[in-house]
Structures are given as C-alpha cells and as structure tokens.
Amino acid sequence: MDVGFIGLGVMGGPMALNVLKGGHSLTVFDLNPGAVKRLVDAGAKAAASPRDVGAASDIVVTMLPEPKHVEAVVLGEGGVASGLRPNGVVIDMSTIDPISSQRIAAGLKARGFHMVDSPVGKTSEHAVTGTLTLMVGGESEIIARVKPVLDCMGNETFLCGGQGMGHAMKTTNNLLATTIMTANTEALAIGVKAGLTLELMMDVMKTTMSNNAQLYVAMPKKAFKGDDSPGFMVKLACKDVRQAVELARAQGFEPLVGAACQKTLEEAIDKGFGDRDTAALMRIREDQLGIKVRETGVAAGRAA
C-alpha cells in the first residue's frame, strides 16, 4: 500500500520505520528535517507538505503532539485532505481527546474521506520493536482496510468502538497511568524522608494493593536512576491529563485527582522540566525534600 506518515518524533519515527519494514511504500513529512532524513535514509520518500503526503498516499498516519496539530495537518490549508487520494483514510495515532477526534473525522467525512483513530499504549521502546498496544475506533470495514498497516506497529489491537472511541480509551488510560505515577513520586519521597529505604518500600508494596506497573516497570528504568532524558515528556503527560480533565468537565463532573495531577505537571513545566521525561517528577520531589529516592544496595529485612 502507498502509506504516508506525518510526525516522526520519539514515537512516530520508529513507527514509520516499521511501516517501511512491513513492505509498504512510504512518504513522510515532519517540521524537523533531521527526523525526515532518518526515514529517507531508510528508504522513504520526503514530501514538501502534508498535502503532498496525501497526494502520494491511500492511507496517511498522523503521530503529532496535540489536537490542534492534527487538525491543522489534516484539515488545514495545505493539509492532507487537500491532496488525499479518493476514498483515502487518515489513521490518527496521536493521543488526542475523543471530541477533537470526532470533529476531525467529521471534517474528513464531509470531503469523502475516512478516519480511523488508533492511539497507542506502552513506550518508545515498544514503538521501536513494533509491539505497541493499539486502541482502535472507527467503522469496521475501514479498520479492516488499514489493518495491515496497523499490524506493522502494534501486536495487541483492541477494537474500542465507533469513531473516537480509541481516543476515549487512550484518554482514560493515560489519566489513570499518570495519576498513579504522580502519586508514586509523592509516596516514595515521603517514605524516604521518614527513613524508609526504596528497597523496603518496593518489597512491601509488591505484596499490597499499592503494587502498580509504574512502580515496578517504568520507574526502575529511569526515575530511580535519576535519568529524566525523554522518553515520555512531562509536557505530553500534562496535555494528556488536561484532555482527560476537560473531557470529565464536559461530562459535568469535576475530577479532583486528575486536576491535582494536572497542577503537579504544570508546576513541573513551570520549573523548566516540560521537555524532560516524567521521571523528572521524582527529581522535583527529591529536591523539595532534600533526599534521593534511589536503591541503597541494602536488602530489605524480612521476618524469618
């Protein structure tokens, strides 16, 4: 298939590479020339604009930061929809809210095109290995058409429902994942300040209801090493939580935990950590309390 790909960042770059490796012809566009060059070196064609990507493609994937970027790239002047081949499909894999997603899909439909929403779960490492979790929304016959392209990027595909339901799933998922991670940083910092070791807390929490994947999978790789190189950037996590909070408010509900998490992330951005990995939240708590949440090398004690 002739596939286009727009947004070749931390996630989109390796995902586009996997589409290419899947045997599809690929035309790419990004505002960052370095990101385009990496794909062109691997065999993709560079386009001069989103419109030119559309003109060269039956299916165009977008992997962009926020709804406003997706809307401009897809429906704006010189956008994908102004060039896309007849009956073409846009797969938006960015993390955007379901209301924006449905609005963009309606704009495409009015021009005779289709949209599938397929935001992704897991991490940039899974983007490289083509093992992302895909949360898919849209019309089933259109999803079936684009499935060979989706399969290049993910190994677990969930059909979430109609248009925008993939984005509804992703918004819900990220609110939970990010609030858990933020709560972890507070609890661990309080524990270390009180005199507990990281090893003891990890050993105990593994056996209790506070066990969570952020604590045992994500944080040991970066936060507990003091590594906040991106990864998943604070500004993107903040955007995700803000979208979830706004969705809740549109439903007439005030999400108190989500709003507190959003405030924590906004404070991290104000402190200059917007482009750092969310592991920076741990560093901020460490600095506030004058402690380090790191392995001590001392195993936790257990009763015989």
- Provide the binding-site residues for ligand NAD, judged by CB under 6 A: 6-12, 29-32, 35, 63-65, 69, 72-73, 94-95, 120, 123-124, 232, 236, 240
The CB-of-264 to ligand NAD minimum distance in angstroms stands at 17
Residues 155 and 18: their CA atoms lie apart, in Å, by: 12
Token pair in block for residue 270 = 């104000």
Q: At what angle do helices 256-270 and 234-250 cross, to 10 degrees?
A: 150
Closer CB to ligand NAD, 224 or 232, in the complex: 232
Contact 243, 171 (CB under 8 A): yes
Taking the mean position of all CA atoms in its chain, how far away is CA 106? 23
For the chain, helix, strand, coil in percent to 5 are: 50, 15, 35
The CB-of-281 to ligand NAD minimum distance in angstroms stands at 15
Closer CB to ligand NAD, 7 or 88, in the complex: 7
Contact 88, 57 (CB under 8 A): yes
Residues 226 and 293: their CA atoms lie apart, in Å, by: 9
Closer CB to ligand NAD, 8 or 205, in the complex: 8
The CB-of-167 to ligand NAD minimum distance in angstroms stands at 10
- Helix, strand or coil, per DSSP, at residue 155: strand
The CB-of-203 to ligand NAD minimum distance in angstroms stands at 28
The CB-of-204 to ligand NAD minimum distance in angstroms stands at 29
Q: Which residues are catalytic?
A: 170
Q: Which residues contact 77 (CB under 8 A, 6 or more apart)?
A: none
Residues 40 and 232: their CA atoms lie apart, in Å, by: 25
Closer CB to ligand NAD, 17 or 73, in the complex: 73
**Phi then psi dihedrals of residue 153, to 5 deg:** -110, -25
Closer CB to ligand NAD, 65 or 226, in the complex: 65
